[in-house]
Each structure stands twice: as structure tokens, then as C-alpha cells.
Amino acid sequence: MSEKIHPVTKLVKSHALIDKPKYEKWYEESIENPDKFWGKQGKRIDWFKPYTKVKNTSFTGKVSIKWFEDGQTNVSYNCIDRHLKTHGNQVAIIFEGDNPYIDKKITYNELYEHVCRMANVLKKHGVKKGDRVTIYMPMIPEAAYAMLACARIGAVHSVVFGGFSPEALAGRIVDCESTFIITCDEGVRGGKPVPLKDNADTAIHIAARQHVTVSKVLVVRRTGGKTGWAP
């Protein structure tokens, strides 16, 4: 196999956020004085409560690693809200389906609306800070909405690849003691349907035998394919 190196054009270079000399300089700074370096980098995101402690780590005995421990922020807020005022109508997510002719461009304003709605649905159904939510979905916009909604309310999301078997899904549900699953009726991969809802149902029964109970399943109607529905 032959390799070909494509030189970076001047136009691309002019829009780059970092180059090799700058990277190497930053790397040296992060090694020589990590508190100063990361204290500065941490200010690149928005904080509800600014941090005063940057790094608190111990690698002897009981290992403890804490960063920005007295600050308070939210990942979902930083991904969406802080961009609304100046970039609300700009595209935040480009979605391309299994069939490349099916695509969608989602703006920050639209993303904000979808994520807030999803977060409120989760809260309505009892999901709260610290709860574990399993996301077993294909690569569709709703998967991103679900992840950002979990982060918004402080729930922990566990993403399980949609190609995994019911047994593999059950193992992950049991490991984190998840009580809530977000999936869809079917996924589509290479033009073929993948029975995600049916797999999730099987996984729930397997998990129950190991004394882990999933209380609710939220299902996105993706293909409209036949699957088992319950109230």
C-alpha cells in the first residue's frame, strides 16, 4: 500500500487553532506548571461557580484525582446554551442516515429545544441526578439529545453500541445498575433492520435474573417496524 502525504494549504493553516510549535510550547507548560496551565485553560468554558482549586492529585497509597473540584459547571450548558446568543442559527449537528440521501442539519436553537424537552421528559419519569441511564440507539439525532439531556440534569449516561447483543447490553445494565433505558423500535444498518427494542426487552429479563430492575424504557419510533409495545 502506497502512502501519499498531502501538504496543508495556507488557507487551512490560517484557520487552524494550533500548530506544531504552539502545541509543543503548551505541552511543556502543562508539564512544568500544570496548575498555572490548566488554570488558564479551564477558563475557556463557562462556570456557574468559578473554581479556586485547579489540581488535587495523589498517586501514592489511595489514588485520588480531582480537577477544578470547588467549581460548578454543566457540560450540556457549555455545549449548547453559551452559543445561543451569537450562534443560535448556526448548524450544531450534521446528521447523515444509513441512506446518505436522508440527512438533517440541526441548529443550536433547535438542539436547545430538543435537549430541554428530552431533559424534562426524563425528569417527568423520575430520572434524577446520579441515576444511570442506558442509551442503546443507532447514530440518530435523538442519541445526541439523550446524552446532552442526561448531562443537563446530572444523570449518568452509559452508551451501548447498537450492534451489541442482548447479553452484552444486559451486562452493562447490570454493571452500572441502570434503571432507565432509551432505545428505539429498530435501527438500520446497511439497509437491514436491527431489532433494538426487542433486544432491550430480552436484556431487561436477563438483568432481572441478576436482581437489577429497569423501571422504564423510553422508545423512539424510528422505522415503525413491528416490535413488542407495552404501556
Instruction: Decide if pLDDT at 230 tops 80.
Output: no
For residue 30, tell me if it sits in a domain. no
The whole-number pLDDT of residue 19 equals 87
Give the residue-averaged pLDDT of 114-137: 97
Q: What is the dihedral of CA 132, 225, 115, 107, to 10 degrees?
A: 140
Mean pLDDT, rounded, of the chain:
94
Residue 149: which pLDDT band, with cuts at 50, 70 and 90? very high
For residue 112, tell me if it sits in a domain. yes
Any idea what the CATH number is for the domain that residue 105 is in?
Answer: 3.40.50.980
For residue 174, tell me if it sits in a domain. yes
Give rounded-to-5 percent helix, strand, coil for the chain.
40, 20, 35
For residue 86, tell me if it sits in a domain. yes
For residue 42, tell me if it sits in a domain. no
For residue 151, tell me if it sits in a domain. yes
Q: Which residue in this structure is represented by grid cell 443507532?
A: 138
The whole-number pLDDT of residue 231 equals 67
For residue 63, tell me if it sits in a domain. no
Helix pair 196-209, 166-176: axis angle to 10 deg: 50
pLDDT tens digits for 50-80? 999 999 999 999 999 999 999 999 999 999 9
Output DSSP code: residue 81.
Answer: I
Residue 226: which pLDDT band, with cuts at 50, 70 and 90? confident
Instruction: Decide if pLDDT at 100 tops 90.
Output: no
Structural domain range at position 97 = 75-220
Residue 1: which pLDDT band, with cuts at 50, 70 and 90? low
C-alpha cell at 193: 433492520
Instruction: Decide if pLDDT at 116 tops 70.
Output: yes
For residue 163, tell me if it sits in a domain. yes
The whole-number pLDDT of residue 104 equals 94
Domain count, the chain: 1
Alpha-carbon distance 118 to 145, whole Å? Answer: 7
Instruction: Decide if pLDDT at 129 tops 80.
Output: yes
Q: Which residue has the higher pLDDT, 3 or 77?
A: 77
Give the residue-averaged pLDDT of 106-126: 98
C-alpha cell at 78: 457549555
Give the residue-averaged pLDDT of 25-37: 96
Reported pTM = 0.87
Is the distance from CB of 138 to CB of 218 less than 8 angstroms?
no
Residue 183: which pLDDT band, with cuts at 50, 70 and 90? very high
